[in-house]
A and B are shown apart, each in its own frame.
Chain A
């Protein structure tokens, strides 16, 4: 690649006329933000005292200044963006000493989460997986809302996903998902399950979509949670639905604190869950003492992880772990892998150029689920 082709589009623009018309023509002629040759250029147009890029890429300063191009109202910032990256961000527009966070008005790509929505930049070679979208070829599963009494927590309500081909005469594996509603709403879990089952990339399975009203407590190695899931929910579902009851047909899945809930529940009931799917688990630990740099909600997590790290054991058979390279938990997740492998468990680990967010977790579901529960897709020739 020659030096000339490395010149950024914004640099080329700055060499020309800087009239309002030229700015508009420049903006109209590019897909924004501009991604080229491993670099991303963010652009914002308007009057402000300052404009900052706000993002969640661990390792880069979380606020980066956009520079105003002299003679125009166009602001820009270029950063390296490796291929395959996916980055969520906002702009902070500062006027009269007040900062206001907004989504990028030039970028239609959004990622929703429980706190709202962020703009999303896609690096070269990244595209939203087609299996994450609703397709007419994939018959949708059905949902049942279930309310049942729990000694551990009082009455709990959860949603159950039944596969489109559900038959009472068959027996199914059980996938228990922590933060199930969020997985449905922000990680397209329903569409993912519909598609992967329709393509037989995973077998038909029943999915329990659990939620917690107090997840930062209940998911942080809380004995009540493990008891609720294992001694109350699973037996209840096995009584009511045609489930397989071997460990290899039971999977716990969760992201962030939900990952801690999955791992700690499996630790409290070793051998009961033969499959674990852990995404960006908040597996904070300390190498000496129990002090850590995170907030106090991590105290029980650090205690649990330190104990697990001191005496790791084969609590399950297969464990899929994923984490984003751009999240602060990458160190903790990378550190966990050799430890899990040392126990003899079958471990698969996947990193992605993404952050601590639902779409990262969505994008890893196909590999994780199909590795834990291989379907008959290689046998299907329609």
Chain B
């Protein structure tokens, strides 16, 4: 990436979870005044990918669902060896994620033990710095390992002779050529990320607008962070999943923030914000909107930023 030129020179609108009538999405699309058809990606909905009637109804203009999930199922049927190898890669990445998570837990345990000791504020602050530094190191290491594994797979499994996949890529590129904007729905973030990569959706997208919500917003950032403060068991420690497509730099997108994060836990929020710095940790609740233009965050509506002091800054402006 050249420092003088943003990775993406168009407009990106990130939204939070959608109401049933998709009125937030409809309003965002209307603001962009798009005349051409709109490409829709609902691969995060997995087997429910085609249940997009309410979106089409809300937008009241031509919408082309690229059906990435269904296409990936077709590719799977026709490229058995490739898909088996892909499956092995995914299994490896899942294991990598588990082991990374185990290591995060150990750091967190130590941090919790130290945080309750009766000692000086200065020493505790120094210890917190160590914790943050260790977490950041593990985060970076994890991303690097994920990238290496993906690069190895690309090298071992070139797609030049995968007719089925290439054919779908061509079809998708043709559909995208007709479109003036793209919508990325939320859902299963890995299902979405993998299919966007498999079909190389963004390579020729250029500067046309993208509107995305929840998981769709997460994959457009540089780093995808998984989080939930009320898991059914175990700890609530956030973890990195992988790199995203980087359309929205310096942002950690936190969909459904108010429901997924205990906003009164100041220490945890502060530590998380420091761990992710210099990226801004910004919540996307229902009704929230973050707007990027030419790779820069230019506007936030009804969003909150998590500060390094542990504050939840509603109304924060970039």
On A, residues with C-beta under 8 Å from B are: 165, 167, 196, 200-201, 348, 366-367, 370-371, 376-382
Contacts of B218 in A (CB 8 A): 381
Q: Nearest chain A CB to B196's CB is how many angstroms away?
A: 15
B191 CB, min distance to chain A CBs, angstroms: 8
Name the CB-closest residue of B to A202: B232
Say yes or no: B186 contacts A381, CB within 8 Å.
Answer: yes
A348: chain B residues within 8 A (beta carbon): 233
B47: interface (CB < 8 Å) = yes
Name the residue of chain A whose CB is nearest to the CB of B48.
A165
Do residues B187 and A381 form an inter-chain contact, with CB atoms below 8 A?
Answer: yes
Residues of the B chain whose Cβ atoms lie less than 8 Å from the Cβ of A201: 232
Q: Does B228 contact A (CB under 8 A)?
A: yes
B207 part of interface (Cβ distance < 8 Å): no
**Bound Cα distance from A377 to B233, whole angstroms:** 12
Q: Return the contact of A382 from the options B191, B214, B232 (Cβ within 8 A).
A: B214
Please indicate the chain B residues that have their CB under 8 angstroms from the CB of A366 in the complex: 232
B71 / chain A contacts, CB cutoff of 8 Å: none
- Rounded to whole Å, the gap between the CB of B228 and the closest CB of chain A is 6
A-B contact pairs, 28 of them (CB 8 A): A165-B47, A165-B48, A196-B232, A200-B188, A348-B233, A366-B232, A367-B232, A370-B232, A370-B233, A371-B234, A377-B231, A378-B226, A378-B228, A378-B231, A379-B188, A379-B189, A379-B190, A380-B189, A381-B44, A381-B186, A381-B187, A381-B214, A382-B17, A382-B186, A382-B187, A382-B214, A382-B215, A382-B256
- B310: chain A residues at CB < 8 Å are none
- Interface positions, chain B 20-70, Cβ under 8 Å from A, are 44, 47-48
Residue B255 at the chain A interface, CB threshold 8 Å: yes
CA distance A360 to B115 in the complex (A): 35
Chain A nearest CB from B278 CB (Å) reads 23
List of B residues within 8 angstroms of A381 by Cβ: 17, 44, 186-187, 189, 214-215, 218, 255-256
Structural contact, A376 and B226, CB atoms closer than 8 A: no
Beyond A367-B233, A381-B189, list 19 extra A-B contacts (CB 8 Å): A165-B47, A165-B48, A200-B188, A366-B232, A367-B232, A371-B232, A371-B233, A376-B190, A377-B232, A378-B228, A378-B231, A379-B190, A379-B241, A380-B189, A380-B215, A381-B44, A381-B218, A382-B186, A382-B214
Residue of B nearest to A370 (CB): B232
Q: Please, which residue of chain B has its CB at the minimum distance from the CB of A167?
A: B47
Q: List which B221-245 residues lie within 8 A (CB) of chain A.
A: 226-228, 231-234, 241
Chain B nearest CB from A231 CB (Å) reads 31
For the complex formed, measure the closest distance between the CB of A246 and the CB atoms of chain B, giving whole angstroms: 13
Residues of B within 8 A of A379 (CB): 188-191, 226, 241
Chain A residues near B233: list those with CB within 8 A.
348, 367, 370-371
Most buried by A among B17, B190, B232: B232
Complex CA–CA separation, A315 to B201 (angstroms): 48
Which residues 152-204 of B have a CB within 8 angstroms of A? 186-191
Most buried by B among A370, A371, A381: A381
Bound-complex Cα distance A370 to B226 (A): 17
Query: CB-nearest residue of chain B relative to A204?
Result: B47
Q: Kindly provide the distance from the CB of A219 to the nearest chain B CB, expressed in whole angstroms.
A: 27
Q: How near does chain A come to B213, taking the closest CB pair, in angstroms?
A: 9
Residues of chain B lying within 8 A (CB to CB) of residue A196: 232
Shortest C-beta distance, A118 to chain B (Å), equals 28
CB neighbours (8 Å) of A377 from chain B are 228, 231-232
Residues of chain A within 8 A of B226, CB atoms compared: 378-379
Given contacts A165-B47, A167-B47, contact A380 B188 (CB under 8 A): yes
B217's closest neighbor in chain A, by CB?
A381
- Leading 7 A-B pairs by shortest Cβ distance: A370-B232, A381-B214, A381-B215, A381-B255, A371-B233, A201-B232, A378-B226
Select from chain B the residue with minimum beta-carbon distance to A372: B233
Q: How far is the CB of A13 from chain B (nearest CB, A)?
A: 37
Complex CA gap A376/B17 in Å reads 18
B232 x A376 contact (CB < 8 A) = no
Chain B residues near A367: list those with CB within 8 A. Answer: 232-233
What is the bound-complex CA distance between A379 and B44, given in angstroms? 10
User: Which residues of the other chain, A, contact B256 by a CB distance below 8 angstroms?
Assistant: 381-382
Task: Check A380 against B187 for contact (C-beta < 8 Å).
Answer: yes
Q: Which residues of A contact B241 (CB under 8 A)?
A: 379
